[in-house]
Homo-oligomer: A and B are copies of this chain.
Amino acid sequence: MVASDVREALLKATLKLFAEMGSRGATTRRIAQEAGVNEVTLFRHFPTKETLIHAALDAFVEQTKYKRLPEVPTDPTTELTEWARDHHTHLHKLRSLIRTSMGEFEEHPEQCKQAMCVSITINNELTGYLADARARGLLAADFEPRAAAAMLMGTLFADAMGRDPMPERYPYSMKDGIELYLGLFLRAIGARPVNSQCA
């Protein structure tokens, strides 16, 4: 086993255990065992547990890929629906990690911010897209792109985080939910609805 393999195995194991039980629960013993290496080896690669967790989150953020919105908006209804589906899938896959990171905000604010920085980028991109589409006359003229972005992302976020703790609140499927949310959202921002009665 090459040194870089050990390092990678440790980062992967750390991310998994961190998502499952937080930084207190992800003990060096458990991480080493999950990675299949000796605990001493862990400390030869990372001086402290804190360093290891930081590196694991860093590596995770760096390798994260997300679907980008088109630079030039042409069909908000289609483009936003497709984007929302992808973003929700992304959030749902990472729900444990996100919940754990946010849950540790009080104790480790920097660590939490580190994990959340991707969503800030995505939020900015969505805001920019909405502003562009509005400027091009594809949407209503009188809405605030930042708030609309917060609304769509917040809705998807809450759905992805809340589905397993509160299934009663989400009786419809993820797929149906996104369609329903998008229907409402598109009407809110004045996009061309499928059955337009008004504009």
Interface residues of A (CB under 8 A from B): 19-22, 24-25, 96, 99-107, 109, 112-113, 116, 119-120, 123, 143-144, 146-148, 150-151, 153-159, 161-162, 164-166, 168-172, 177, 180-181, 183-185, 187-190, 198-199
Nearest CB of B to A44, in Å:
27
Which residue on chain B has the smallest CB distance to residue A186? B188
CA distance A137 to B139 in the complex (A): 26
Nearest CB of B to A110, in Å:
10
- Please determine whether B169 and A119 come into contact, CB atoms closer than 8 angstroms: yes
- Please determine whether A19 and B144 come into contact, CB atoms closer than 8 angstroms: no
- Please determine whether A177 and B150 come into contact, CB atoms closer than 8 angstroms: yes
Chain B residues, Cβ within 8 Å of A99: 102-103, 105-106
